[in-house]
Structure 1
């Protein structure tokens, strides 16, 4: 465990899984530029930290923060994730306790995820792996089985910043956008909001871009894959547990899904014996495909700014449960 701490007005603590210690160090360096400091704990669980009773603001990088962890921080008033995702934080429990949950929304993060999602979709349509293999194996003949994106119906699950970035980039490509989301509240030109069943039945390609929560866990399983047209493509750059992986493997083997590109898994890193690794019609990447140098450079400063706002008693724009907290007042 690596710890460092000086006095600061908000008692900021940074808990990070050890492999993300570099990111934590960058955020702490940016905090110091704001005149603040923090304790840094490189741990896998918060119970590895002896005493957190004085912590008021917690930055959690992949370290679970549920009721039992919150119990150890009676003065806690905010939990921050330094990235878009925050599914390791029990936001409902935090709201019940009047604790703000914030994340860092670097534009470069959203843009990188949007671009990489489009890249994976194009790689599936143009059968990039198979096409490259023609040259590497000196196969000679080219069995043309590639497809253009123009005119395709894209079924997107989720209506967050990444979805909007994807649509903005593909608006001129002649695609048709159907979106399933519980949060969309007003008509959007060029976008049709539909029930999940309709999206599955109509989409040529399904893009999973929603957050993981109790309502979305395993929202795509055997029943849902049975609704898609044979050969439908699937890209998941959101969270692995949104999809029932056993059902995904079955759908890919049967041809119900034509191919898939998967960047996220229920268990990470993806186990060496995972059946997805054996399938020829999948592209697998280790939950990093959208990460980029630009977001890496921008993130620590943005996160430090959020922590500074909280330390000064303010509420950042990126608070994910501000409305719920307001209703409690």
Structure 2
């Protein structure tokens, strides 16, 4: 997603501009169809990361291709500066805005990732990230891999929705409320809500491996993408500095557990995360200097969460390795003290 700034002292995320659905039941003008669409994401963006993880866990790679915008953008939008020639190799566009304007001439809302683009027309179909996660899980079932997990188990959906709503307001969006606050009171309010919620989540996770039930659900995907960026970006850049994630033992172990689970850590590029946050938000970091730290190798250290039980994929199985073009850089091995 792209950051949005309101005219008030408090950060307000602007509404999404193309909230269509892709469905198998005929309830929308966009049918589920293999190879018709391309998912555009960015390694830096947590909102896009959620959809990429869900696509990985469900095994939709063979039917829905993935384009990756680079970590840097300008006033024209996300751009494909890491691709050969600076254009997406399938859509042939330099800026994601082009696909939005193909769909809505004169488009004047936020150009955000994730976005699903119809390949033949080059038009954005939807940028509704939360609907995409749910629809990938419930509308694309004919194309799920064997052993795909159930990320929205029917008997748990109300609980998932309640937890996810709290996580969205206080954590996912909460770090942005801290980082883009224009007044001290607005920052203080967001900071207090963020760490109160993290403390409550830490207490919940101290006795159970996952947020809802004994398997990974969408609630875990939602929380994890913010935790994965916490020390690399939010702690310093967004002034969320009561403590690092690495100093919150339960959440740090929970985050490492998921990082080491296929489908999570293999979607993360810490360098692109830092390049984006520190390099794009000139209002927050006018020098554009990107920090060298922190050392990411700690993500590979043992977490001990297995002792809480739980079955990551329920009755399913882990996804296989990512397709070669989608692989992210490997982390350095952690140093061992002797």
Query: What's the TM-score, normalizing by structure 2?
Result: 0.28
- Tell me the TM-score normalised to structure 1 length: 0.29
More helix by share: 2
Structure with the largest fraction of strand:
1
Q: Which of the pair has more CA radius of gyration?
A: 1
